[in-house]
């Protein structure tokens, strides 16, 4: 199957992505929040419960895995990648090595991980991964950040990663995340998002990346968490769609939004509003959520195998709500009715 076909398969019918690619350290923080020890078995069990949820293939076209998770198996011995593939869910892999301080900058960040990536891609492909993810962290404030240095350095790293992924027959998810931290306005986020995406696509074209064989994972155009004026879902949706119409080429098959620290229901409501905007949207607009899909399920699990059914019911509910939102069919009644049924 070509990378173009894989990219379309992942987002067909509004399916989205489950981002289960937390590093062991990040997963440790999630587990600590529910009083569970950060062991490989606990990490494995929680993810097995998510991946074996009935109907996941209707709502999620792919799952982003961490390297440890790609190599793990179910309790009965089935490799996670094989389990997902059998369901029609594409296994993916997080390949960046995280963000570090950008040399010569004023405390901005650059994502590392390009060294040895060609060889790692070959190993990941053998293990079953058919798409990958690289996250660039873009810090924003009300006037001076991000700098051109940070934008261009991260855009080039994203493009080099994407070119290597496609060379290996792997679909690259291109993720330039403008953080929600701070007090910047929606208008400021709009300006910065436009500049960042324009620069990213310039570098993708420079490195001869096939734009019909990628998925874009951007932030929504949204105000900072500390901004005094918090926009409505409709305002976020209109600004986001208008921005992407101006800067994202039509040939890109899908845009899978990150949640970026939004609450579970808020992320769903905003995605639904985006899909309800009455204007030309040539791409599938879906989701690639981590905490916004898992947080409720994590609390229900609480590290106990006996809670498997409750964990899966809550995860299935959240996945279904986001799938509805990706099709512009989410409603508060659907949210309330489904929650009542799983209570």
Q: Which domain holds residue 136?
A: 3-342
Confidence of residue 338 (pLDDT cuts 50, 70, 90): low
pLDDT in tens, 93-131: 999 999 999 999 989 999 999 999 999 999 999 999 999
CATH number for the domain including 132? 3.20.20.70
Distance CA 214, CA 227 (A): 33
Q: In the chain, how many domains are there?
A: 1
Q: What is the pLDDT of residue 336?
A: 83
Give me the pLDDT at residue 341, please.
Answer: 46
Cβ atoms of 271 and 285 closer than 8 Å: yes
Specify the 3-state DSSP secondary structure of 290: coil
Spatial separation of the C-alpha atoms in residues 321 and 316, rounded to whole Å: 9
Mutual orientation of helices 40-51 and 24-32 as an angle, nearest 10°? 80
CB atoms within 10 A of CB 242: 15
Record the pTM. 0.95
In the block, tokens 């080039």 appear at 156
**How confident is the model over 242-260, as a mean pLDDT?**
97
pLDDT for 340? 52
Residues in the chain, total: 343
Instruction: Say which of 87, 94, 217, 299 is annotated catalytic.
Output: 217
Please check the confidence at residue 337 and state whether its pLDDT lies above 90. no
Instruction: Determine the pLDDT at residue 106.
Output: 83
Token couple for 108: 């901005």
Q: What angle do CA 280, 282, 283 make, to 5 degrees?
A: 130
- Per the annotation, the verdict on 304 as an active-site residue is no
CB 281 within 8 A of CB 243: no
Distance CA 159, CA 164 (A): 9
Q: Does the pLDDT of residue 233 top 90, yes or no? A: yes
**Beta bridge partners of residue 100, listed in sequence order:** 110
């Amino acid at each position: 199957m070509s990378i173009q076909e894989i990219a379309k398969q992942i987002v067909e019918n509004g399916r989205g992505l489950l981002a289960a690619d937390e590093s062991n350290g990040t997963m440790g923080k999630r587990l600590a929040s529910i009083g569970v020890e950060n062991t490989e078995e606990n990490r494995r069990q929680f993810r097995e419960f998510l991946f074996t949820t009935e109907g996941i293939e209707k709502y999620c076209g792919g799952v982003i895995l961490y390297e440890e998770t790609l190599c793990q198996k179910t309790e009965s011995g089935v490799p996670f990648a094989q389990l997902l593939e059998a369901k029609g869910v594409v296994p993916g892999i997080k390949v960046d090595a995280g963000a570090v301080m950008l040399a010569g900058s004023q405390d901005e960040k650059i994502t590392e991980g390009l060294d040895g990536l060609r060889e790692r891609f070959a190993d990941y492909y053998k293990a079953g991964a058919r798409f990958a993810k690289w996250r660039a962290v873009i810090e924003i404030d009300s006037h001076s950040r991000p700098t051109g240095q940070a934008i261009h350095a991260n855009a080039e790293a994203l493009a080099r990663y994407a070119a290597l992924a496609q060379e290996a027959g792997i679909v690259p998810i291109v993720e330039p995340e403008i953080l929600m931290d701070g007090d910047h306005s929606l208008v400021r986020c709009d300006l910065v998002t436009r500049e960042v995406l324009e620069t990213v696509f310039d570098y993708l074209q420079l490195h001869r990346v096939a734009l019909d064989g990628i998925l874009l994972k951007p932030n929504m155009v949204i105000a900072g968490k500390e901004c005094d004026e918090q926009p409505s879902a409709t305002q976020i949706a209109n600004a986001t769609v208008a921005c992407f119409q101006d800067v994202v080429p039509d040939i890109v098959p899908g845009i899978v939004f990150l949640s970026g620290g939004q609450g579970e229901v808020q992320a769903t409501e905003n995605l639904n509003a985006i899909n309800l905007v009455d204007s030309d949207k040539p791409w599938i607009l879906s989701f690639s959520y981590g905490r916004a899909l898992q947080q409720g399920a994590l609390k229900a699990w609480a590290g106990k195998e006996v809670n498997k059914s409750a964990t899966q019911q809550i995860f299935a509910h959240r996945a279904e709500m986001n799938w509805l939102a990706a099709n512009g069919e989410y409603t508060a009644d659907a949210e309330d009715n489904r929650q009542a049924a799983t209570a």
